[in-house]
């Protein structure tokens, strides 16, 4: 089974009107990214995956703060409705700001909607992931078996503090909450070494490989770090839709050794890539396979 653990909820149920089409040009070096997509666009983009995990990020102004245009008041409802449309292939995560009043109540409500995990971007949401309100929320997630996918590493958004997404922050969280299942997005790029030593030591901490193939040297460093530290079994497939499709992400991973021609640099074994593409992501996160 191929599970894409990192995708953003499409912005439109139906075809996107031309007047509402939006593009963002600072995520990829090779082309701009169309940030307005329909449910059908999503299905086409994710057709290489058997199951996808999908979410929004709860912020006051999504377009300004995340680059994606969706209604903040429908952050979680839009995801729940999208998942309910095809529950055999989609798993929904909610998003809240743990430091705001009502975060736990919203999490309770979203669980009733069928959302089974959490997406947090402390940099986008501007909260300290090592603050007491955040710790209280992680305790809630651990008690209720809700995995958390954290944005980790760099972002082109100027307002987003890098210190909140430095991978060693996750080490401190995992030390406090050893049963909490965590995914560190993007292998914490460009800090893949710090990410690898973190996922290596914590049984329930993983990393996804979303977007790293867009930068060949980052891709190589990230995967060879995982090979050398014996952490390849903790890596999960992710596309970061709409930045990429599942198929594009898979193909991109297999290019990791292309630039090594004529060098003596160690290669990333093909079986490592195979293992990422076919990783048991749902089992790792304690989630059930959709019926």
Neighbouring residues of 26: CB distance < 8 A, sequence distance ≥ 6: 67, 156
pLDDT at residue 157, as a whole number: 78
Query: In this predicted structure, what is the pLDDT of residue 271?
Result: 98
> Left, alpha or beta for 154 (phi > 0: left; psi -120 to 50: alpha)?
beta
Q: What is the pLDDT of residue 55?
A: 98
* 201 Cβ neighbours under 8 A, 6+ residues apart: 171
Q: Can you give the pLDDT at residue 291?
A: 75
Total Cβ atoms within 10 A of residue 275: 15
> Could you say which residues of the chain have pLDDT below 50?
none
The number of beta carbons lying within 10 Å of the beta carbon of residue 31 is: 9
Provide the b/e sequence for 117-156 (b: ≥16 CB within 10 Å).
Answer: bbbbbbbbbbbebeeeebbebbebbbeeebbbbbbbbbbe
User: How much is the pLDDT for 120?
Assistant: 98
- Ordered domains of the chain (ranges, CATH): 3-285 (3.20.20.140)
Kindly report the pTM of this predicted structure. 0.96
CB 196: neighbour CB atoms within 10 A? 29
pLDDT for res 30: 87
């Amino acid at each position: 089974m191929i599970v894409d653990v990192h995708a953003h909820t499409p912005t439109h149920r139906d075809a996107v009107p031309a007047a509402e089409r939006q593009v963002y040009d600072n995520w990829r070096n090779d082309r701009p990214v169309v940030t307005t997509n329909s449910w059908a666009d999503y299905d086409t983009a994710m057709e290489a995956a058997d199951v996808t995990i999908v979410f929004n990020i709860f912020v006051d102004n999504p377009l300004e703060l995340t680059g994606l245009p969706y209604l903040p008041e429908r952050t979680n409802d839009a995801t729940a409705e999208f998942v309910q449309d095809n529950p055999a292939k989609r798993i929904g995560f909610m998003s809240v700001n743990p430091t705001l009043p009502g975060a736990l109540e919203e999490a309770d409500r979203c669980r009733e909607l069928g959302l089974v995990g959490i997406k947090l971007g402390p940099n986008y949401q501007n909260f300290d992931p090592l603050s007491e309100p955040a710790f209280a929320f992680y305790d809630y997630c651990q008690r209720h078996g809700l995995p958390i996918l954290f944005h980790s590493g760099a972002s082109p958004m100027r307002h987003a503090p890098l210190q909140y997404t430095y991978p060693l922050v996750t080490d401190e969280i995992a030390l406090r909450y050893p049963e909490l299942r965590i995914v560190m997005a993007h292998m914490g790029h460009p800090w893949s070494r710090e990410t690898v030593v973190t996922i290596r030591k914590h049984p329930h901490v993983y990393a996804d490989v979303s977007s790293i193939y867009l930068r060949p040297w980052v891709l190589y460093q990230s995967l060879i770090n995982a090979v050398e530290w014996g952490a390849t079994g903790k890596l999960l497939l992710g596309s970061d839709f709409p930045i990429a499709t599942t198929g594009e992400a898979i193909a991109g991973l297999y290019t990791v050794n292309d630039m090594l021609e004529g060098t003596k640099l160690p290669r990333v074994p093909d079986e490592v890539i195979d293992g990422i593409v076919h990783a048991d992501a749902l089992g790792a996160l304690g989630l059930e396979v959709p019926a």
